Structure 1
């Protein structure tokens, strides 16, 4: 027990490392990054995806985000009051040798911050995983929690910010502090990836930064269905974010998602 970050009252901590949470990547001995410099050092030293997942999952470098994610994990949304919350940074999910890399934005407070898996536990994720299943890229159409049996050999989902931010808006400093985690993930994944799918304009800019050495001039512009060639073996596809608003208004439809992931699978040599 320790003081709640807002009320000062005693409360149970979010899931600690090594607690037995399904898929828990860390142990009590996993080093915790307490500031931006430590994030950069640990990320640079990571030699495998499992090691990187563990390091990300215990990061405490951004005080505002730490306070928010843990507060949400304690107060909880009423509809999830009987459920445990992950309440920690969310590592990437999927294959360690993916052909397709999907770039999102940040965990949702009552979605991935609750379940511990990218795009899991909210309506955006419901749309995304259903489309991935229709494209034959994952083994089941739903993603509920870390113990639901979801599996893939073909994709990985990552984000430039690993903690749920208040109002879904990380600060520039927080984005910069978190960036080395994604840089390290790309370093380990890049030899395998043939297609990146950017979910939204910001994710598109993040993807271009990741593959900066191969970005043509003029810099490719984001658009739904836009395709950028980043060297002979890598393509970047733009996709509107499967947010509740985009899906509700029809700006993005399930058929449009199917077109994107069907094209991604074909370009990655996974279709047929």
Structure 2
């Protein structure tokens, strides 16, 4: 039996490039457009090759093999920004940080602080719900060696800008996992309506920066956290306690519900 439980996007259209000029009317519409993007030939070839050849442990799965949209409620107060989907994680399941060890660490921590309904995420139909938090990334396709190019990062940025604009009525804080995501997200915050200080704030675990709104709206509280990569979690550079602490701090700044 195929355990995939892939996202249900009936009649999903392919689009050759991401659009920075025509905003999507809703997050659900944006998610559909992201999932149909074919703007970066190297990433398209890689994600589809991985979906064809698979990994032996997942031979009975139907891989998603498309760009992975964000995951979480449209009225989220906290946004978590990673790097890109994993080849046999999000590229397989169709959900951010699902089905790999980085996701195992992240979702367990989200559950521990009260931001997720369960501590594990295995596929898109597993019943997981996020509370007051949405998860996305600056690059939506799985890249070879987990390393998008600067051009691929920049090509994908309009999707993040649109996502931030759609979340502006409710989002009050953003937690960025890793230096790549931090550098990729700062220009998107500026385009979406917040002022990024100059010189740009440097990434560090535990960094907190307030980004004033350019239109008199609500400020955004920006937090940095080491990425939940296996290298960081296996070596103890990022421990579960460190992750829970920064998640709880960011959620409290956002006004998202947490478990004490």
Q: What TM-score results when the alignment is normalised by the length of structure 1?
A: 0.86
Maintained 8 Å contact 1:97/1:153: no
Q: Which residue of 2 aligns with 1:3?
A: none
Q: Which residue of 2 aligns with 1:23?
A: 7
Q: Which residue of 2 aligns with 1:33?
A: 15
Maintained 8 Å contact 1:44/1:184: no
Q: Which residue of 1 aligns with 2:147?
A: 169
CA distance in 1, matches of 2:251, 2:41: 39
Q: Which residue of 1 aligns with 2:201?
A: 220
Higher RCO (CA-CA < 8 Å; seq separation 6+)? 2
CA distance in 2, matches of 1:71, 1:218: 41
Deviation of 1:21 after TM superposition, in Å, equals 5.3
Give yes or no for the alignment of 1:137 onto 2:100: no
Q: Give the structure with higher Rg (CA).
A: 1
Give yes or no for the alignment of 1:235 onto 2:221: yes
Q: Which residue of 1 aligns with 2:177?
A: 199
Q: Could you list the runs of 5+ residues in structure 2 that have no partner in the other structure?
A: 213-217
Q: Which residue of 2 aligns with 1:251?
A: 237
Helix, strand or coil for the counterpart of 2:22?
A: helix
Maintained 8 Å contact 2:114/2:131: no
Q: Which residue of 2 aligns with 1:86?
A: 64
Give yes or no for the alignment of 1:115 onto 2:101: no
Aligned-pair Cα RMSD in Å: 1.7
The count of residues paired between Structure 1 and Structure 2 equals 247
CA distance in 2, matches of 1:218, 1:88: 36
Q: Could you list the runs of 5+ residues in structure 1 that have no partner in the other structure?
A: 1-19
Deviating above 6 A after TM superposition, structure 1's stretches of 4 or more consecutive aligned residues are none
Deviation of 1:22 after TM superposition, in Å, equals 4.3
Q: Name which of 30, 48, 51 aligns with 2:29.
A: 51
TM-superposition CA deviations, 1:219-266 (whole Å, max 9, x none): 222111110011263111100001001011110000000111111121
